[in-house]
Structure 1
Amino acid sequence: MELNSIKPAAGAKHAKRRVGRGIGSGLGKTAGRGHKGQKSRSGGYHKVGFEGGQMPMHRRLPKRGFKSAQLQFNAEITLTTLEVLNTAEVDLLTLKQAGLVGQLAKVVKVVNTGALSKAVKLTGIGATAGAKAAIEAAGGTVA
């Protein structure tokens, strides 16, 4: 191979369409814009979502709901999950390593679902009132 013989791959390059350059080019006169109308004029076009003056779809439909971006930093675990975990001391790091909460989680709360029979010490993890009562009844603590 020589440097002077290097060429781009077949079909990789193609000539730009030069519109409005005479009848012989096949794209003269109206230059592929058709006849009359807003789209044929220079600078004439409409904004995204414009429906010719009709009330646009994004304004016809009702607004509904909201999802906070902060939700990705919150996580919940159940009493059943704590039971299965088989660890005496539970903190955020152990839950992340076990794959029970997401890696982005910063705030974890225990909810009162299921049952807990062994003593578990929670550090840096919140609990609902019912869950706290269940953990303390099993001999655990919530710090």
Structure 2
Amino acid sequence: MDLNVTLEAPERLRAAGLRVTVQRVAVLNALISRPHTSADSVHGALRDTFNGVALPTVHGILGDLTNAGIVRRVSLPDAASALYEVQHADDNHHHLQCVRCGRVEDVACALGAAPCLHPSHDHGMRIIEASVTYRAICSDCERKSE
């Protein structure tokens, strides 16, 4: 495991005012290593290392990390469950999702400044985020269908 990844998680937790626990560090490191991961996948990744970590515990930790602004919950069309990714300061990106295999990739904001989309009418609201999901077919799935 990359030493920088190991050191990054405790620092992020402390900066957000959260207690540093072995389970929180493990969940955060799993997300740093594998962005766009479901709670079930995080739980599966930790099962070999932490036999006692239950799926509800992983859900609770992901909720704490999301509420603290360390992690972003991403809900995408046709995804079996919510996905999670580490949130970075001034990060404004969208997602590209393969409609066949479900692969998800980050796509930088087209204009580079948050929010990158301006609605035709804001109804008196201050826009703080724009979420776009580009739905596509990845090259691996395209080759399989030929």
| Same fold per superposition (TM over 0.5) | no
* Structure label with greater radius of gyration: 1
TM score, norm. by length of structure 1:
0.24
TM score, norm. by length of structure 2:
0.24
Higher relative contact order (CA 8 A, sep 6+): 2
Q: Please state which structure has a larger fraction of its residues in helix.
A: 2
